[in-house]
Structure 1
């Protein structure tokens, strides 16, 4: 019998168009809600104003320093690569607004660009709009926090880098390098680039872009590398996986306490250094596992670069000494990129990430006082959030490893069947073989 007709790519692309107005309406509604929460963040459950002051106090202070042609030298709160300075200077592009208003407006614009990039990728043949839907619905789970941090901008570089890989490997490398100079982790977008020429081109473009921009910043600003001194002194943040262990130890009688240092609330006391060293060792082990996967992987699918980036960032996040709530923006963005491909292995991981993101909003800003005080409520919230993240990291890497070890099965052609009772047609119809009855 003749095979069923296959819908042409254009028809499949049109099917997704009715969903676009729904996505647009969802984006506008959720972002309006996030803006409303940001303007009312003085309420206790919204942080008592602590979320917004990160921009109008700390970022604005750094903005004044950067405008003088120098990075915040000697400031223990400045722990970011030099590219972050350009993001913090960007509100000057909208001089008619206040710094706070301009920063939020540019963050929303970046958010919209990420959504458009995911929509464009999702409407291509063989792709899916689930990624755009996940980003649209997942970011508001963090309430108003994403609008008052520059993690959306860093995520944009990683998202564009991954989505550009199929069209331009050099553009992929450049965007990953720019993101790495803003917040380091977008460099992991390149870990899943297919071996061979693709990897060489992407990594070479990333190296050239990094060196060029660093040289430019070093020529225009003083002390661009001072952030390296501040990173070395960081301890164990209360929201990290090691911090969760110390929270329960504190409930059991451990004599340590918390202190605000390096822009976060950290634990201070005996055994804290040991926990920090263990976190660094786990990060090194995660890096070794990722390299082992890359060396031993036998199969690459169109989604492998996306899946590998999500797995890498998850593993580095979980093993880090710091897991701030805004880090979830990264994971939501990378999960969205994975879901644009129908070949991804990370759908269950994306669900775990979304659940952990929702719990993160409970942890901060709603119950942050409970977490700082290491109450049983705070311990339970952190156990759930970090347990979800650890489960997501383990599942992500396991699924990535298994997908790389399984070779595609080749179907052997069937032997023709000769029917002696029938004379083969000299001019067979479509779908009919002269040797098959």
Structure 2
């Protein structure tokens, strides 16, 4: 039997205190000004669940923009005792605890990844417990941690995650080409996605209606693409408006469509950059998979036309995994994301009305948060690209790296010396 260490007890104590506070706020015992963060669960999610239990997806609701397995998450609270909202909170809390358990186990004696998860997630605010993204993040964290040793399991988990909310498939970007790890992972992911799609197609109606709704989205007010419109509104150079459109508040007016196209182009460019990195990378360490996963999710987020507050939990989960791995180069990125978390709580829900009005306060908050995310993405790209230079100075300890450079003898185990201390 494993004996709990004092550091593990402190981690779980911190998690319990933070999550009790989140639940108290989510239940309305302590109220967040200006908005009811639980309304999505109580009204929208529960309404979807009532439709889904009939065997059909909400095909006529443009706000349904999720892959078919998300419907299963919506149904689970109906099967639990108590109210739908209480069941949803229980499901999210269970996934939150499972994520921390995975991080504690993966970190061994190191607790920085676990502490990032414990401390930073509550800083996003109660929204994180009133959306289903924490469930998806748990699956993605498990997939990333399994990738090096159990690629097929990682592929299955990534496939399930992709059928929940697409982005978890990005964790496979860092799968090593040696030993056919990448091939096994991607094959397992493809088979899992195909199996889920087949089951959905033969047993339900409208499981793929989300594709049309998602493609029609524009520039949401919290996205990086929205920043030029805030600046234009402040200076009087842009005279569009903010309105509800496809389930979120978006900018509507001149140049919005062009900006939307540009954001999609930037997403394609980002994935091209990741592909180029894979083709040129020759050293794969235990940190490569985690670092590449965080970089990919960051690029996906900052080039997306929508950045909802709960997306920060994706990034914090990926960053926490990086901090469990000796040799990660993503520590600066993790701390940038930790700073972005409370800014996210300020912009939603506390001062979301200021964003809609495009006031100086609202513009400043969303600009600071989004520019932090852009900075984190750029730092992640640079540090991932330079990973062949050896472990970063603050990564601590030797690693075992595998070179995949062409050689008559094949891949060779290379000892990597600890980097010199930066003065």
Normalised TM-score (structure 2):
0.90
Following the alignment from structure 2 to structure 1, what is the Cα–Cα distance between the partners of residues 229 and 207? 35
Map of 1:336 onto structure 2: 320
CA contact (8 A) 2:145 2:321 kept: yes
* Partners of 1:227 and 1:41 in 2: CA distance: 35
Note if 1:21 corresponds to 2:4: no
Name the structure 2 match of 1:78.
Answer: 64
CA shift at 1:42, angstroms? Answer: 7.9
Q: Any gaps of 5 or more consecutive residues in structure 2?
A: 392-400, 402-413, 418-423
User: Equivalents in 2 of 1:236, 1:36: separation in Å?
Assistant: 33
Partner of 1:290: 274
Kindly provide the CA deviation profile for residues 178-225 of structure 1, in whole angstroms up to 9, marking residues without a partner as x.
Answer: 000000000001000001410111111111111111111112210111
Structure 2 residue matching 1:343: 3-state secondary structure: coil
- The answer for unaligned runs of 5 or more in structure 1 is 1-12, 413-437
Matches within 5 A, 1:57-76: 57-76=43-62
**Is 1:192–1:305's contact at 8 Å kept on the other side of the alignment?**
yes
Superposed counterparts of 1:342-357, under 5 Å:
342-357=326-341
- Contact kept? 1:42, 1:48, Cα under 8 Å: no
Q: What CA distance in whole angstroms lies between the structure 1 residues aligned with 2:257 and 2:193?
A: 33
Q: Is 1:186–2:186 an aligned residue pair?
A: no
Alignment of 1:48 with 2:35, yes or no, is yes
Question: Which of 320, 326, 330 is the aligned partner of 2:304?
Answer: 320
Q: Which residue of 2 aligns with 1:37?
A: 25
CA distance in 1, matches of 2:388, 2:142: 24
Which one is further off, 31-40 or 181-190?
A: 31-40
- Structure 1 distance, partners of 2:60, 2:25, is 34
- Say which SS state the counterpart of residue 265 (structure 1) adopts: strand
State the alpha-carbon separation in 2 of the partners of residues 57 and 41 from structure 1.
19
| CA distance in structure 2 between the aligned counterparts of 1:392 and 1:190, rounded to whole angstroms | 20
Cα distance between partner residues in 2 of 1:288 and 1:48: 40
Equivalent residue for 2:130? 148
CA distance in 1, matches of 2:170, 2:29: 34
Distance 1:97 1:335, change over 3 A: same
Q: Aligned to 1:79, what secondary structure does the other structure show?
A: coil
What TM-score, normalized to structure 1? 0.87
CA distance in 1, matches of 2:181, 2:332: 28
CA RMSD for the aligned pairs?
1.8
| Aligned-pair CA distance for 1:39 | 2.0
State the alpha-carbon separation in 1 of the partners of residues 167 and 239 from structure 2: 34
Max radius of gyration: which structure? 1
In structure 1, which of residues 85, 95, 103 is the aligned counterpart of residue 88 of structure 2?
103
What is the rounded CA distance, in whole Å, between the counterparts of 2:98 and 2:90 in structure 1?
12
Q: Residues 256 and 204 (structure 1 numbering): CA distance in 2 closer, same or farther, change over 3 Å?
A: same
Measured after TM superposition, the shift of residue 298 of structure 1 is: 1.4
Q: Deviations over 1:26-56 (max 9, x none)?
A: 01100011011112278453x421x100001
Contact 1:128 1:342 in 2 (8 A): no
2: CA distance between counterparts of 1:41 and 1:319? 37
What is the aligned length? 393
Q: Shift in Å at residue 166 of structure 1?
A: 3.3
**Structure 1 position 128, deviation (Å):** 2.3
Alignment of 1:345-384 (within 5 A): 345-384=329-368
Equivalent residues of 2:158, 2:189 under 8 A apart: yes
Q: Deviations over 1:214-246 (max 9, x none)?
A: 111112210111001101110000111111111
How do 1:216-231 residues align onto structure 2 when only pairs under 5 Å count?
216-231=199-214
- Displacement of 1:169 in angstroms is 1.0
Matches within 5 A, 1:85-164: 85-94=71-80, 96-123=81-108, 128-164=110-146
> Following superposition of structure 1 onto structure 2, how do residues 3-18 of structure 1 map, counting pairs within 5 Å?
17-18=5-6
